[in-house]
Amino acid sequence: MRHKGNPCHWAKFFWNAFIPTRIAFFLWNAVFNAISVDTNIQQRGISLASKCTCCSNPNTESLDHLLFQGEVGTIIWHFFSKALNLSTYWDMPSLFANWLGKINLSNQFGMVTTAIAALTLWNI
């Protein structure tokens, strides 16, 4: 018999009918830091100069920098958080920690908010 592992309660935010599958896979990989950004490539022993091309003051290209802490991510999340009256997020763990207590996927506002956040992460 197969033994079930501990349920992943936050996975319901992107493994659902209103998030496209390719975006759900991207989010899953982002949660586990499995996106090919410069810092992850360097950790595998490949030398390369790292620089975020989205910022006027370039920084090291990491997942948190690209999605949350860089100039583009900061502007987008500030707008998103203000528009939906949610906390500003600076990394993936805090994003999901805040969602768990505030977003209800059984109503339309929760579904739309989750879809907007997922599409925002995908498009950054």
Residue 34 lies in a domain: yes
Residue 5 lies in a domain: no
* Backbone conformation region of residue 70, classed left if phi is above 0, alpha if psi is from -120 to 50, else beta: beta
Residue 49 lies in a domain: yes
Residue 99 lies in a domain: yes
Domain count, the chain: 1
**pLDDT, tens only, 48-92:** 887 888 888 878 888 888 888 889 888 888 887 787 777 777 777
Residue 77 lies in a domain: yes
State residue 68's pLDDT score. Answer: 85
Q: What is the DSSP track for 4-73?
A: P----GGGGGTSSTTS-HHHHHHHHHHHTT-S--HHHHHHTT-------TTSSS-----HHIIIIISHHH
42: its two tokens: 């360097």
State residue 22's pLDDT score. Answer: 94
Q: Is the pLDDT of residue 21 over 80?
A: yes
Residue 107: give the domain boundaries.
Answer: 17-123
